[in-house]
Amino acid sequence: MSSHNYSLIFTAYGSPGPENYGVFFVTLLVYIATLISNAAIMLVIWLDSALHKPMYIFLLNLAFNGLVGSSAVCPKIMENLIKDMKEISPEGCLLQVLAINIYACCVYAILAAMAYDRYVSICKPLQYHIIMTPNKVRILLAVAYLIPIICLSLQVFLTSKLPLCRYTIDKLFCDNLAFVNLSCAKSNVGNIYGLFLVFLLAIFPFISVILSYVRILMVSYRVSEKAQMTALKTCAPHLITFINFSSAVFFSVGYNRINYYMPKEINVLMSLHFILIPPLLHPVIYGINTQDIRKSMCKIIRRKVFSLTSEILKFRSPVTPDKRIFSCAA
């Protein structure tokens, strides 16, 4: 990628003022909550060996991707909200595009792997430990990361070769379509490759999750009502997460197509929804709805509080006269 001596200008922010400062404050609060909640989920899974199971390993990676996605955009959004000049270099814009796309596609791939894990757990319970081996989990995670990273890096490389004749972006952050629309030329190769990526990295994982849950529902329907309730309770956090993220993606895709015809306030909300809400809600959903996560959190908190209390009591315990004499003599 060649070096450029010009900048791209964001025009969706407006001048600094009460409205921008209000959005800045809300974005900051949500970003801090996202960092804390995702880091807490990752820490709990890391510290509790009882959670070193495929489902929770996938959840740890889902939380990690939430940190990547929000951190790729939120700091720059907050900076632009309070700056007079809202600009970014072409290289910085493409890097932001790459980070956001990798975040979104890796989340979809991990959600598909989690759906497969739930399918094996419910539909093939006796074979679960034979199928979902540690090596199988590592392969699924490698596929979930490497394929999006390689494919999207090539897409960004193709986009970087387009000549630009416009330098303003009417959005809060960069995306691939916004950068392509700045170009004076159209790339048929880039368009075809983009459609291929949509199928490979979005539609295929989406269909995989749907088919997994159709199969789960079919198997659950054949057995007792109690088994149906157990399956629903087991799958509920993942299903809620999947629906939440899919709705955010669909809103974002729709926003990319019709944002020029929408009021500025709606544009802001649609942009922030995709990058702020899913990374915050995913750990909250799992923390609230997953009993094992709640138990582990309580256990770790009790352990830390007990350890801290013991240290305080030890520090405050009176020193015996003999110890004082020994201390002075020393």
87 bridge partner residues: 9
Q: How far apart are the first and last CA of the chain?
A: 68
Helix (H, G, I), strand (E, B) or coil at 37: helix
Q: Is residue 300 one of the residues assigned to a domain?
A: no
Q: Is residue 269 one of the residues assigned to a domain?
A: yes
More confident residue, 44 or 319: 44
Helices (H) and strands (E) in the chain, counts: 12, 3
Q: Is residue 153 one of the residues assigned to a domain?
A: yes
154: pLDDT strictly greater than 60: yes
Domain CATH number, residue 277: 1.20.1070.10
The candidate with the shortest Cα–Cα distance to 104, out of 139, 76, 141, 62, is: 62
Q: Is residue 318 one of the residues assigned to a domain?
A: no
Residue 91 CA: distances (Å) to CA of 5, 84, 179: 11, 21, 11
Name the domain count of the chain. Answer: 1
Instruction: Decide: 206 and 188 in contact? Cβ < 8 Å.
Output: no
**Rounded average pLDDT over 230-251:** 80
Q: Is residue 160 one of the residues assigned to a domain?
A: yes
Compute the half-sphere exposure of residue 97: CA atoms within 13 Å on the CB side of its CA: 25
Query: Which pLDDT value is given to residue 196?
Result: 92
Q: Which domain holds residue 259?
A: 8-289
Q: Is residue 136 one of the residues assigned to a domain?
A: yes
Q: Is residue 33 one of the residues assigned to a domain?
A: yes
Q: What is the pLDDT of residues 111-145, one digit of tens each?
A: 999 999 999 998 898 999 999 999 999 999 999 99
Q: Is residue 50 one of the residues assigned to a domain?
A: yes
Query: Which pLDDT value is given to residue 328?
Result: 38
The candidate with the shortest Cα–Cα distance to 284, out of 63, 111, 103, 117, is: 63
